[in-house]
Amino acid sequence: MSSTKAYNYPGPLPPPKQPDYWALDTWSDQFDPAIHLQIEPPKSIKDLDFKDVRFPFSPKEKMKKGGLAYTRSFRVLSEEGVRAARRAVDNARERYPQGEVKYPIGRGNKRATHFVRGLGYTSKFVRDITYDRTLTDLLSDLAREELWPHSMTMSVGHTNVGQPATGKPVDKWHVDSVSYVLVIVISDIKDMKGGNLTVFQHPDSGGTYWKKLQIQGVPPELVETVSYTAPGYAILMQGSKILHAVTPVLKAREPRYSLVNSYMSTDVFLRDPTKYHTFLEKGFDDRTDVVPLEFARHKAWRIKGQMAYILDEAPFGSKPEDLAKVFTDAGAELCKTAALLLGKEEDSAGHVDDEEEEAASGKVKVKRNAVILNSRM
């Protein structure tokens, strides 16, 4: 048993119980992969050295583990899949409208103009796309590690809605609180100006590099704009490691809709980038009767997997110190989870509060002394 162990433990399905007030719309479009999916893998990806790597990977590249920054845009949904996904989003917004029900599906906040959360609990269609095995297998191949939809079901089917000509970015510079995201565009983007994903070309922007950015800003020469080809096309990105933003939609035939699904590695010994407080009031402001249980389930799955490693995988001859480390680390993760749930500790992924003026000017610059981090990583 080596100290750099990896153990993939099957990821969980959404909770068998529903949160109060929300129901899955099992009566609308029934997901049929033959009709709704049209998977055409990308020709290349960018790795964390920001080099283009051809896909399918050569045997040598395939041997490498992880290392994905983002993929080129690739097709995931058919035209009918896009229409059905839009119906799913719009139906959920109509069923749970802001200002009329206790827990609306669509809202806005300081960081993003308008977003929809909760489709994992209200749309059977979106849930079924998310857990489709052909799709998760392709994403695992692209990431070169086994991926599974994130345990926190509120992050299934997160949808950003970018209204044209507001001057506000669809999403400001930030790193994600979950390892990977798949962003699928589900609106008409023909002739759209703006609404592009911009990526800062530096590996692990979520780490110590943050401090430097806080003083110097995001260097424009290191920013790449990644375009989506058409509705139904997607980009898979390791959003926890790279700083990214979505530029304002300057002109478009309709609001820009992007369906964002979150994924995690199933290696239960990998560092977990999930940040509890990002889902609470200072972040997504998800339901407070949902987030604690989702986070607890996520951690329960990880620790269960770590214990399954001892039960089913560890070989005879394992050093006592190595076995002990599994328990010490699991204990620390459990204690930290309890402290977070009790509000004794805080965590949150960072986002850059670069204020509206840069958005209007289109310049990528971070104001000195602006509040950049709410992260305590």
Interacting residues with Fe ion (CB under 5 A): 176, 239
Is 247 within 8 Å of 163 (Cβ atoms)?
no
Least CB distance to Fe ion at residue 175 (A):
7
Rounded Cα gap, residues 56 and 344, in angstroms: 46
Nearer to Fe ion, 84 or 359 (CB): 359
Least CB distance to Fe ion at residue 73 (A):
16
Nearer to Fe ion, 53 or 349 (CB): 349
Quickly tell me which residue has 């609308």 as its tokens: 28
Least CB distance to Fe ion at residue 239 (A):
5
Least CB distance to Fe ion at residue 171 (A):
6
Least CB distance to Fe ion at residue 79 (A):
26
Nearer to Fe ion, 247 or 306 (CB): 247
Nearer to Fe ion, 189 or 237 (CB): 237
Quickly tell me which residue has 């000509």 as its tokens: 165
- Stretch (H or E) spanning 256: strand 256-265
The closest of 20, 200, 190 to 121, measured between CA atoms, is: 20
Question: For 234-248, b where at least 16 C-beta lie within 10 A, e where not — what string?
Answer: bbbbbbbbbbbbbbb
Is 135 within 8 Å of 129 (Cβ atoms)?
yes
CA dihedral over 233, 225, 265, 348, signed as positive or negative: negative
Least CB distance to Fe ion at residue 132 (A):
22
Least CB distance to Fe ion at residue 160 (A):
9
Nearer to Fe ion, 115 or 295 (CB): 115
Structure tokens at 367: 């104001």
DSSP state letters, 29-63? ----HHHHEEEE--SEEEETT--EEESSPPHHHHH
Nearer to Fe ion, 84 or 170 (CB): 170
Nearer to Fe ion, 176 or 272 (CB): 176
Rounded Cα gap, residues 7 and 30, in angstroms: 35
